[in-house]
Amino acid sequence: MKYSAYYVQENDGDFSASIVELELETPDEGFVQIKVLYSSLNYKDALSASGNKGVTKNYPFVPGIDAAGIVTNGNSSQFKEGDEVIVTGFDMGMNTPGGFGEYINVPAKWVIKRPNNLSCLEAMSFGTAGMTAAASVMKVEESSHESDLPVLISGATGGVGSISTMLMSKIGKEVTAITGKSSSVDFLKSIGASNIIMRKEYLETPTKALERPLFSCAIDTVGGDILSKILTQVSQRGVIACCGNVAGIEIKTTVFPFILRGISLCGIDSAESSIDFKQTIWNKLADEWKLDLSSMVKVVSKDNLKPEIDFILKGNQRGRVVLKHGE
């Protein structure tokens, strides 16, 4: 049996993608075969699809770090044919063929049964971006103290940033959002941001070792100079959840935010989180943290995926892009 996939190939250092037919293999013992109904587009997917070998070492390859669908061959005691399931992260879409193909074979220990109150489309509207956002909100919520200052969210129009903004607003927090797009102000207000700061203006003023506290805590999705500045502006015992590097992998800081204000800088790695933690997150997203993302989700086919990949690599993504397989 053959299946259709978005297939990235390398030729003398150049990378190109096409829709091809691949042979479907029988899953190994302990693996689950899943017919993928939906996947989603994340920044890591765009890197893999463009030939970034820091993400995917060997090509040709099928990207896609997220998948939601139906078990077609449960070569495992945990799942049976017909179960609707979700897979996010681990090695899928990095070096294990991923959700941009109509079928995947993955270890059963990577798979979660879909919560009843969350459809496959809704699950992939969240995807790894939603997982990361929810993990960031959870970290900030469990670690931070009470404060009247707002929460700061950088990269707020992207997948992680926009869902973080919505979740923080849903649980009653005042949100200040940083964006580089003046055209997105109305969008950010519509999803719960009370205050908008333009990225260029935010970075224009020189950064001191410590500045006046402006924010109770922060979720930083971009890294680089923005994270460096956020560290100086979070209040006493505040928490910063760090979950992205699109603006740079290096930060400039002193020990002052840590030893004078007791600030905690916490890394969020949702891809390698335990399956139990992922199940907890998905249960929350299906229940008390459930969001209506329909207005900010664009559903595309494999044929229309390449322009969306280019768009996210240029930093122009707003909201979420979901890949739908089949008709």
Domain presence at residue 54: yes
Domain presence at residue 299: yes
CATH code (residue 51): 3.90.180.10
Give tens-digit pLDDT for 208-227.
999 999 999 999 999 999 99
Residues 62 and 171 in one domain: no
Indicate if the pLDDT at residue 319 is higher than 90: no
The whole domain housing 60 covers 2-114+293-324
Give tens-digit pLDDT for 24-58.
999 999 999 999 999 999 999 999 999 999 999 99
User: Tell me, what's the pLDDT at 147?
Assistant: 86
What is the C-alpha separation between 146 and 143, in angstroms, rounded? Answer: 10
Give tens-digit pLDDT for 257-294.
999 999 999 999 988 999 999 999 999 999 999 999 99
CATH code (residue 146): 3.40.50.720
User: Tell me, what's the pLDDT at 144?
Assistant: 67
Residues 264 and 178 in one domain: yes
> Count of CB atoms within 10 A of residue 137's CB?
27
Residues whose CB falls within 8 Å of the CB of residue 266, separated by 6 or more in sequence, listed in order = 139, 143, 239, 240, 241, 242
Domain presence at residue 121: no
Residues 145 and 178 in one domain: yes
Residues 245 and 224 sit within 8 Å (Cβ to Cβ): yes
Q: What's the whole-number mean pLDDT along residues 92-112? A: 96
User: Tell me, what's the pLDDT at 327?
Assistant: 66
Give tens-digit pLDDT for 175-185.
999 999 899 99
What is the C-alpha separation between 15 and 255, in angstroms, rounded? Answer: 43
Q: What's the whole-number mean pLDDT along residues 104-120? A: 96
Residues 179 and 219 in one domain: yes
